[in-house]
């Protein structure tokens, strides 16, 4: 999360967790917001005790290296999902050849079907990793579950 608001967010989450100990903190985000939700989840996990948390991202880019992914999967992997829409280009960036990896677990939405890839293979060969680069596109990044991003809506006015 942005450092300018980090302390207030952690303080408020801590306060709410103390008030409602049986509740679960939900973090979500799309694109860069998905990357921020991933980093914020680890920060909150480390600084708010006790905390139950779920993380769901949409069209998130890769955010860490192999060590980061192993740490994430150990801390939050059971409680996280990365949703990828069809041929969305952003989840393929930055490139894995540069050492970047995805955190687990992917749900690949391909048209009217979805495939859940629940294991420690974040780059599962039966999910979005199977899409050839020639098919990657920005259009699928702007539309998840029939909801079009605001930038796309504004462009059509």
Query: Active-site residues: which are they?
Result: 31, 88, 141
Residues 6+ apart with CB under 8 A from 57: 28, 29, 30, 33, 34, 35, 37, 38, 80, 81, 82, 83
Q: 24 is written with which tokens?
A: 């679960």
Residues 6+ apart with CB under 8 A from 136: 87, 88, 89, 92
| φ/ψ of residue 93, rounded to 5 | -120, 155
The H or E element that residue 144 is part of is strand 143-144
Q: How far apart are CA 103 and CA 85, in angstroms?
A: 16
Nearest C-alpha neighbor of 64 from the set 99, 24, 92? 99
């Amino acid at each position: 999360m942005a450092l300018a608001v980090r302390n207030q967010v952690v303080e408020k989450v801590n306060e709410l967790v103390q008030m409602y100990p049986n509740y679960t903190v939900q973090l979500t985000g799309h694109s860069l917001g998905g990357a921020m939700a991933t980093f914020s989840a680890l920060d909150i996990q480390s600084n708010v005790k006790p905390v139950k948390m779920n993380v769901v991202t949409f069209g998130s880019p890769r955010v860490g290296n192999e060590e980061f992914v192993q740490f994430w999967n150990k801390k939050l992997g059971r409680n996280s999902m990365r949703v990828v829409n069809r041929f969305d280009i952003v989840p393929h960036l930055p490139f894995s050849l540069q050492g970047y990896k995805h955190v687990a677990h992917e749900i690949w939405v391909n048209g009217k079907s979805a495939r859940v890839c629940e294991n420690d293979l974040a780059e599962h060969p039966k999910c979005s990793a199977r899409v050839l680069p020639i098919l990657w596109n920005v259009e699928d990044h702007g539309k998840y579950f029939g909801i079009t991003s605001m930038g796309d809506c504004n462009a059509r006015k």
